[in-house]
Amino acid sequence: MTAGFIDTPSVHTSFTTNLSWTRRVTLYLRGQPWYLVILLPLSIIFLMGWVDHRTEWEMSLFVFYALPIILSVWLVGDMAGVAMSVLCSAIWWFANQNYHPYETQLGYAWAMLSRLIFYFVVVFSVTSVRKRQEEDATRIQMLEERRQLERDIVAVSEHEQQRIGQDLHDGLCQQLAAIGCAARMLAEDLKMQGITAASDAEHIEESVYQAVQEARSLARGIFPVHVDHSGLSAALKELAQNTSRLTSVEIEVRESVEVSLEDPGVSMHLYRIAQEAVANAVKHGSPRHILIDLRITRDELTLTIEDDGLGIQPDSKAYSEGMGLRTMRYRAESLGARLEVCPRLIGGTLVICRLPLQTTLNTNRNA
């Protein structure tokens, strides 16, 4: 299966793409000059007035006059609705003037006034609904813009980390390696000349070699998936090895499937989730053993990190407000994945990230 990590090119495009066709038509009509938009409800009003006059009093259509009033408010505004309400009342008056059952003109005028009040109530109600919808649309657009800004910030951060990792790996590491070679050649020359300072040159070479190793480890830590070109599985194994070496915590990596992610951004998000979960476990849980499990279950990729440490309390402040947990949740949401963080029944913490496969992954099952 082939596909990639879907990124939103622009907030406006994403927002308008998700709109229904009725909302698109409404936005289009609202963008037109009001005197053109008002022609539609005006046509409906005069048509209904003609029908009302032809059907006489037996088939009163005063309720249906609300339709052009609603259109006027929805497409133009409340003042247009008020004007249409007055116009509808006047047309209703003339359409039924010769057929109404009222004995006096005062009774007929009172009937028209009651209908006008009804139309004003319709205008008020539709105006309230329109304002509520506009507020909701503005709020949704703000949320879309905020999410897009967060994506851009993360993307810029990852890009800068990638650049720094490449500079360390291809620049500083190479220079240190060259210095190490020069120190080795110097030590050999000093030995051949029988100078005691040869041992000092060997110490310099060893120090430079250690600096090279630390610089490479730092480069891999900044952007491990890209630097090694070896995928998520290899990056997780190296994370386990480096963390075990530095903390003396036993970290095991299991995988039931060899996973090749076409988009390095997806790999990076999953790697950072695992990295943060391991760091939290080591920092707060004092575990003796951490398990990183990567497997395919049905139609999703599941990344599990569990430890046998002190565990995390669901009602603790760190559980709800910790930057690490919030970052993991945001990364999972960016991938369309589900993240679960909960205490284990036998002690420790369990972190599960479930990523739907769909068309995101390339997977090769091991024989």
Residue 222 has a pLDDT of: 65
Query: Residue 177 has which token pair?
Result: 């390696």
Residues (pLDDT < 70) of the chain are 1-20, 158, 162, 166, 169-170, 217, 219-230, 256-262, 313-322, 358-367
Please provide residue 197's backbone torsions phi and psi, each rounded to the nearest 5 degrees: -70, 0
What is the per-residue pLDDT for 362?
47
> What amino acid occupies position 293?
D
- Please name the helix (run of DSSP H) or strand (run of DSSP E) that holds residue 239, with its range, or none: helix 231-247
* Two structure tokens written together for 1: 């299966």
Q: Which run of H or of E encompasses 98? A: none
Q: Are 307 and 289 within 8 A, CB to CB?
A: yes
| Paired sense of beta strands 289-297 and 250-255, if any | parallel
The count of other CB atoms within 10 Å of the CB of residue 134 is 10
Of 305, 292, 299, the residue nearest 340 (C-alpha): 305
| 3-class DSSP state of 363 | strand
The pLDDT of residue 220 is: 64
What integer pLDDT is reported at residue 318 of this predicted model? 53
Give how far Cα 201 sits from Cα of 66, 147, 174, 189, 323, Å: 95, 55, 19, 10, 46
**DSSP per-residue string spanning 288-340:** SEEEEEEEEETTEEEEEEEE-SS---TTSHHHHH-HHHHHHHHHHHHHT-EEE
DSSP secondary structure of 202-224 = HHHHHHHHHHHHHHHHHHHHHSH
Question: What are the extents of the domains in the chain?
Answer: 11-153, 230-367
pLDDT of residue 290: 93
- Yes or no: domain 230-367 corresponds to CATH 3.40.50.300: no
Residues 150-160: tens digit of each pLDDT: 777 777 776 77
241-258 pLDDT per residue, tens: 888 887 888 999 988 666
Q: How far apart are CA 88 and CA 133, in angstroms?
A: 26
Nearest to 52 by CA among 84, 91, 25, 108: 91
Answer for the pair 227, 169: CB distance below 8 angstroms, yes or no: yes
- Identify the residue whose tokens are 């480096």: 242
| Sign of the torsion formed by the C-alpha atoms of 75, 81, 87 and 91 | positive
CA distance 336 to 7: 12
Are residues 269 and 331 in contact, defined by beta-carbon separation less than 8 angstroms? yes
Phi, psi of 315 (to 5 degrees): -95, 5
